[in-house]
């Protein structure tokens, strides 16, 4: 189902914003990413406010992998967030920009990555991914004669490819017992994560399962749990917009479908209720969150210029989809706004990039009165899982312009 009102309102708001951009930065800097730090700060504060309204003890960490442009992380830190990193490279970047509260998650951490975490143990908490990693971290910490704060990831969806993450819930007690035999590990908590959540149902369901497992622990083991980190996966409020017939790459007018997402306030209310009913009735611990997409999605936009109008219904832009690193727009719909000829009307036209590959699609239509060579186009809200995936494929990646 396509909801014209949702999309047209979104388009109208971003036409206004886009014209402000062009008035300020000019038309000669395309292709570029345009980044708004104020948006990151606003959304970080809104996310915190939603959960702190319900929960007495919280911490928040921005998931760096969703957009690893350092200024995004810096804006999150300035909003009272820590950083959630998933590699040694992300950890080093976090330390370089002055982060003082970091969680290091992800499977397959290397010896050198663990060593960085151990050296900076005052700032870094390691979320271990397996029994093997517990033993390896103990060995690295013992070698450095450091004590490392740590938790363990619990797998919340042990099916298919998601099996790679964490340990199974029924192994939690065994993991805690093993951690007691690691004198250089201070076991402090639990993390779980579910992705692509349009609503809180998956998080709520797993919190109930986790509560049952915690109930089976001894009183002394329960006291070891100082935090529960429920990860990220919160979808932005506009929802997910998809091309239903995207499998047909020759279709210039695919149907659209909107998967609606609930507000972050609704996420907070339902998740908090589940925590009080299943966790806080047993242990008083801090609740941690690792939002990524919800924080950064609306903060970055892609600005392009039409460099060639080949047919009445096909144009080529000066930037290619190596800027996002994958064939996103063959499946995902985002409005392409013609800032040079704005109009709240969408017209059919294949918008293609300048890479030497047919899989270089920005969109199947544009919003505007017309489209001609030299026109400036904007694809709004491209802040999540685009910049981080960019690649020097055929052409260089665009520059980033910080606005204002």
Which helix (H) or strand (E) is 308 found in, with range? strand 300-311
DSSP 335: P
Annotated catalytic residue within 32, 288, 349, 356: 356
Active site residue 356: yes
Q: Do 285 and 17 touch, CB atoms closer than 8 A?
A: no
- The SS3 of residue 23 is helix
User: Minimal CA–CA distance to 86: which of 100, 70, 103?
Assistant: 103
**Structure tokens belonging to residue 40:** 């990151």
Q: Do 260 and 3 touch, CB atoms closer than 8 A?
A: no
DSSP 172-236: HHHHHHHHHT-TTEEEEEEE----SBSSSHHHHHHHHHHHHHHHTS-HHHHHH--EEE----BPP
Q: Is the four-CA dihedral 153, 158, 162, 167 of positive or negative sign?
A: positive
User: Minimal CA–CA distance to 70: which of 55, 83, 80?
Assistant: 83
Cβ of 250: how many Cβ atoms within 10 Å?
5
DSSP 40-91: HHHHHHHHHHHHHTT-SSEEEEEEGGG---HHHHHHHHHTT-EEEE-SHHHH
User: What does each C-alpha distance from 121 to 111, 139, 201, 227, 380 come to in angstroms?
Assistant: 15, 14, 35, 17, 39
Q: How far is the C-alpha of 333 from the C-alpha of 316, rounded, in Å?
A: 18
Q: How far is the C-alpha of 313 from the C-alpha of 75, rounded, in Å?
A: 40
- Quote the longest CA-to-CA distance of the chain: 72
DSSP 218-272: -HHHHHH--EEE----BPPTT-EEEETTTT-TT-SS--EEEE----HHHHHHHHH
Q: Is the four-CA dihedral 39, 42, 46, 48 of positive or negative sign?
A: positive
β-strand 240-243 against 346-352: which pairing, if any?
unpaired
Residues labelled as active-site residues: 356
């Amino acid at each position: 189902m396509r909801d014209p009102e949702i999309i047209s309102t979104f388009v109208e708001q971003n036409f206004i914003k886009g014209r402000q951009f062009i008035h300020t930065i000019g038309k000669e800097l395309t292709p570029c990413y345009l980044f708004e730090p104020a948006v990151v700060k606003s959304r970080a504060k809104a996310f915190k406010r939603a959960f702190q309204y319900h929960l007495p003890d919280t911490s928040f960490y921005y998931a760096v992998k969703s957009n690893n442009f350092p200024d995004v992380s810096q804006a999150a830190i300035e909003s009272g967030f820590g950083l959630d990193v998933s590699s040694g490279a992300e950890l080093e970047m976090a330390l370089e920009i002055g982060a003082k509260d970091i969680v290091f998650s992800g499977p397959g951490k290397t010896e050198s990555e663990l060593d960085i975490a151990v050296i900076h143990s005052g700032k870094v908490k390691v979320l271990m991914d397996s029994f093997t990693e517990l033993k390896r971290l103990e060995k690295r910490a013992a070698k450095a004669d450091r004590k490392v704060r740590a938790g363990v990831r619990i797998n919340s969806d042990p099916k298919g490819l998601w099996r790679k993450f964490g340990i199974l819930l029924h192994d939690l007690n065994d993991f805690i017992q093993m951690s007691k035999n690691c004198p250089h590990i201070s076991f402090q908590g639990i993390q779980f994560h579910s992705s692509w959540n349009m609503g809180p149902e998956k998080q709520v369901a797993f919190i109930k399962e986790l509560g049952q497992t915690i109930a089976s622990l001894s009183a002394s083991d329960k006291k070891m749990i100082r935090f529960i980190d429920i990860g990220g996966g919160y979808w932005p409020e506009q929802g997910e917009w998809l091309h239903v017939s995207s499998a047909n790459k020759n279709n210039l007018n695919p149907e659209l479908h909107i998967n609606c997402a609930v507000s972050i306030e609704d996420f907070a209310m339902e998740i908090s209720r589940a925590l009080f009913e299943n966790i806080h009735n047993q242990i008083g611990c801090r609740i941690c969150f690792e939002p990524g997409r919800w924080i950064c999605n609306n903060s970055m936009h892609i600005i392009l210029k039409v460099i060639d109008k080949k047919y009445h219904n096909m144009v080529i832009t000066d930037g290619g989809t190596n800027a996002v690193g994958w064939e996103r727009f063959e499946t995902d719909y985002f409005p392409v706004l013609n800032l040079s000829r704005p109009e709240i009307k969408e017209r059919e036209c294949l918008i293609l990039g300048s890479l030497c590959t047919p899989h270089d699609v920005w969109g199947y239509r544009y919003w505007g009165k017309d489209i001609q060579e030299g026109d400036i186009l904007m694809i709004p809200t491209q802040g999540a899982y685009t910049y981080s995936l960019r690649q020097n494929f055929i052409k260089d990646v665009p520059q980033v312009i910080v606005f204002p």
